[in-house]
Structure 1
Amino acid sequence: MTGRKFRCAARLAPRLGLAGLIWLAGMAGPALAAGSKSAEPAAPIEPLPVAKRGLPVELLRTLQLLQDRIARGGTQAHLAQRPLLGHIEGRLTALEPEAWGEAANVRAAVAFALAGGGPALLRLVAETGRVPEAEVPLVQGALAYLGGQEGEARRLLAKIDAQAVPPSLGGQLALVQATLVVRDDPTQAVRLLDLARLIAPGTLVEEGALRREVFVLAQMGDIARFEALSIQYLRRFRHSVYAGNFRQRFAAALTRLEFGNDRARFARLEAMLKEIEPEGRRDLYLLVARAALDQGRTGAAIFAADQAEILAPGGSVEAARAKLYRAAAGIVAPERFAGALAALRGTDRAALPDTDAALLDAALAAARQIRGDPPPAPAAPPEAPADTKRALPPAPAIARAQEAIGRIDAMMQGARR
């Protein structure tokens, strides 16, 4: 079929119905096949060029992959981190000085140092004298930060745009910059932590930035963002190796924000904690209750203890802890005193962890003071039988000490003569 005939058939197709369309498709196939024979073969697709990366960059990537597994809860990765840091430091220390004339290698060394590698490698890099001039402030600023010279580190690192360096360094750099300004300018610290999360999503850098930002927002009193980012952390990083640190500080922050004294806020707290499994939610409520007790916020302690007991199996240590926290908070309220004291007296001290056993003792002592009871008299030690009362022989060490003192006295008397 010629091109002209094909165009005519195409115009007639709407009028031909289904049978006409089938005929048209059958006639068009040979024509298209004939046309394809005359077309030139497609040129082979060339692979995209990949720049060769130096050993420091490759080893840094290995470390960061391991650390990303730590953010997802890899305990074995956490145990392997220190040996890997030592291995990488040894490999990079053995490089020829010329390797540090490349900016990419220098930046990788800085990222390695800030990610836990420490300052030793960076000192060696600086001493080679090969660092490109543009990278010198970065190296010196990182060394100042790792050496605790916050003012010098802030002066040098504040001038560097975290978005102008490779992401493998940029997220870590923004995290450090936030740490350096958080006391003086928490708003700027929040911006830098946001930037760190944006540059390095899904990494240990993002986990650390999000964890820090939650508590900066709590200190600033930004409740809405505190709640939003807390939910984000609990959803995405609740299995992180560092999640235990987050939960402890999260509980303390919640009590400072007085969630227990505001029913609406407490409802939002419940919504946040529903993001995690019941066991984790129970443990968080226990942390909140204990932190509230430590801060003297009895309302928050009672609310959190009640919620923890609901989630704790009957007769478990967690249930006993929840009852203890509620009773310890209740003894300061006149209407709760009698029931709280009975609960304290009925608590099995042996079933509690050491810190909670000490809390039980303190709560009982406080209850006695509230009631005006005299303190219990200390039990007198049993008196030994008369025939066993004899002086114990001095220990050899005491005898030697007494001999030495005698010699020193003799020497001093001799000097006076």
Structure 2
Amino acid sequence: MLRRLRSVLMTCCVLAAPFASGTANADDIEELAPFKMIRSLQYVQDSVVLGDHSAIEMQRFMLGAIDKRLRAADASVFRDPRNVDAALVYAMSGGNPDTLKYLSDHDVAGNFDSRLTEALRQYLNGKGGLIVENLSKAAPEYRNARIGPYVYLILGNATSQQDPVAAMTYYDWARLTAPGTIIEEAALRRSVFLAVQAGAPDKGFHYALAYARRYLTSPYASQFADVFVELAVAHFDGAAQERISEVLDFMDAPRQREVYLRVARRAAIAGKQALAKLASERAEALGADGATQPKVLANFYAGLASVPSSDVFAATASLAAITDAELSPRDRALRDAAKAIADAVVRPPSGESLTQAFVSKPDKPVEVDASAASEDTGSGMSPFGSAQAPTVVAESAAVSAPQETGDPTHDGFVAKGRSKIEEIDALLKGEGK
């Protein structure tokens, strides 16, 4: 480890000196072979997902330096297969896709595998679904090669929408051949998501446990927390409760509390009252550090879960006691929708309701601030960090994950509430006849 770190530091110093002084030239760049520079990039990227976020800026710098080196390299450099692999790894690690196109277009000696370069070019241009057939045929040839884990991760990404089960198999090979790396981190994180999609909770909890053991300090850990919450809510039962606790045992109290708050919110929206109350109680019990915001949110989600129950009066009072300042814009919209439903449930029958002349509505439309569409759920102060890498660094093309947009759960909650109101009015009308 010390030898590897020393090599990385020496490489970075050699790279940084000429570029920092503005005197970089071809001779300076040619001092290092591309495959040596890629080794340093891999070490930096692995350090980032293992918790060294200070290495993010170095990652950005090295991607730029490697790009210059590859474009300036003589064609003879790529007679060495290690340098060909370096160019491919660079493209799959967040590098400039145009550089791969430039190298493959100028490859008159046939050093690059055209099947692989063409598949990567299509994938990097957003046409991943078109490469599955050809790449799945070529991938076995690279199964034990240096670039094998990257190829299988790309293949898993491209296959995930069409066949989640097959994609998990590709991810398994990628992570098992590259333990402790950004490849394993991405494969585990995405495998949890696919297990939810495929309805495979056993696999999902297995992947989640492996991720929690290694990568909770990754800048992408918030994405893992999101999909783990989906897994916990979708497949919660007596056995799952124990497996959820097993995963959370690897987290400190703030992270556990954040997960329980997210579970409580999702469960309340999904109408799973028992789970919402249980998660709220767990989150409140973990608030021993004196923080008031988590306790407020725990009570809020517990109140949401009580709206469709016999405790609707207490739930209404609990929701009314929470001020706007204590909630995020998304939770304020959720509270207003829940209050409108609760008020309609407890409102005494009137002449208008018996004749269906009155349609219950909130005092004012519930609006969600557009800026809050991407706001994190939970406490709003997530110890997992940002759901994405810092904006100065592009996430590796191989490890990138699809992003969610909007808040469909909120829209579903409002629609479900309005439906219940209409049913109540219909019953009242029937009693009046």
Task: With the length of structure 1 as denominator, give the TM-score of the two structures.
Answer: 0.71
CA distance in 2, matches of 1:358, 1:372: 21
Q: What amino acid sits opposite 2:315 in the alignment?
A: A
Pair 1:155 & 2:130 matched: no
| Equivalence for 1:175 | 153
CA distance in 1, matches of 2:177, 2:243: 30
Structure having the larger proportion of residues in helix? 1
| Equivalence for 2:313 | 338
| Equivalence for 1:196 | 174
CA distance in 2, matches of 1:162, 1:74: 34
| Equivalence for 1:225 | 203
CA distance in 2, matches of 1:54, 1:376: 67
1:190-339 paired onto structure 2 within 5 Å: 190-257=168-235, 259=236, 262-313=237-288, 316-333=292-309, 335-339=310-314
Q: Which runs of no fewer than 5 residues in structure 1 stay unpaired?
A: 1-52, 379-417
Query: Is contact 2:34-2:87 (8 Å) kept?
Result: yes
Secondary structure at 1:158 match in 2: helix
Deviation at 1:122, TM superposition (A): 0.4
1:13-412 paired onto structure 2 within 5 Å: 55-130=33-108, 132=110, 135-161=113-139, 164=142, 168-257=146-235, 259=236, 262-313=237-288, 316-333=292-309, 335-372=310-347
Deviations 1:217-272 (A, max 9, x none): 22222222222221111111111111011101211222122x1xx23322332232
Deviations 1:252-301 (A, max 9, x none): 222122x1xx2332233223212211111000111111222343433322
Note the aligned Cα RMSD (angstroms): 2.4
Deviations 1:35-56 (A, max 9, x none): xxxxxxxxxxxxxxxxxx9712
Query: Is contact 2:48-2:218 (8 Å) kept?
Result: yes
Greater shift, 188-197 or 96-105, is seen at 96-105
Secondary structure at 2:161 match in 1: coil
CA distance in 1, matches of 2:97, 2:185: 23
CA distance in 2, matches of 1:268, 1:336: 30
Q: What amino acid sits opposite 2:267 in the alignment?
A: A
Query: How many residues in Structure 1 have an aligned counterpart in Structure 2?
Result: 322
CA distance in 2, matches of 1:102, 1:349: 63
Question: Considering only CA atoms, is the larger Rg found in Structure 1 or Structure 2?
Answer: 1
CA distance in 1, matches of 2:239, 2:133: 44
Shift in CA distance, 307/131, structure 1 to aligned 2, threshold 3 Å? farther
Query: Is contact 1:289-1:305 (8 Å) kept?
Result: yes
Shift in CA distance, 376/295, structure 1 to aligned 2, threshold 3 Å? closer
Query: Is contact 1:125-1:131 (8 Å) kept?
Result: no
CA distance in 2, matches of 1:275, 1:125: 45
CA distance in 1, matches of 2:175, 2:109: 29
**Larger RCO, structure (CA 8 Å, separation 6 or more):** 2
Query: Is contact 1:293-1:329 (8 Å) kept?
Result: yes
Greater shift, 180-189 or 247-256, is seen at 180-189
CA distance in 1, matches of 2:146, 2:347: 64
Secondary structure at 2:137 match in 1: coil
CA distance in 2, matches of 1:222, 1:140: 33
Shift in CA distance, 292/263, structure 1 to aligned 2, threshold 3 Å? same
Shift in CA distance, 377/294, structure 1 to aligned 2, threshold 3 Å? closer
Query: Is contact 1:167-1:200 (8 Å) kept?
Result: no
CA distance in 2, matches of 1:139, 1:351: 52
Shift in CA distance, 278/203, structure 1 to aligned 2, threshold 3 Å? same
Query: Is contact 1:71-1:241 (8 Å) kept?
Result: yes
Query: Is contact 1:103-1:135 (8 Å) kept?
Result: no
Query: Is contact 1:72-1:237 (8 Å) kept?
Result: yes
Query: Is contact 2:261-2:283 (8 Å) kept?
Result: yes
Q: What amino acid sits opposite 1:330 in the alignment?
A: S
CA distance in 2, matches of 1:367, 1:291: 19
Query: Is contact 2:209-2:247 (8 Å) kept?
Result: yes
Q: What amino acid sits opposite 1:250 in the alignment?
A: F
Q: What amino acid sits opposite 1:283 in the alignment?
A: E
CA distance in 1, matches of 2:129, 2:301: 44
Secondary structure at 1:130 match in 2: coil
Q: What amino acid sits opposite 1:341 in the alignment?
A: T
Q: What amino acid sits opposite 1:307 in the alignment?
A: R
| Equivalence for 1:11 | none
Q: What amino acid sits opposite 2:46 in the alignment?
A: D
Query: Is contact 1:106-1:135 (8 Å) kept?
Result: no
CA distance in 2, matches of 1:353, 1:161: 46
CA distance in 2, matches of 1:234, 1:369: 43
Deviation at 1:166, TM superposition (A): 6.5
Query: Is contact 1:167-1:199 (8 Å) kept?
Result: no
Deviation at 1:377, TM superposition (A): 6.0
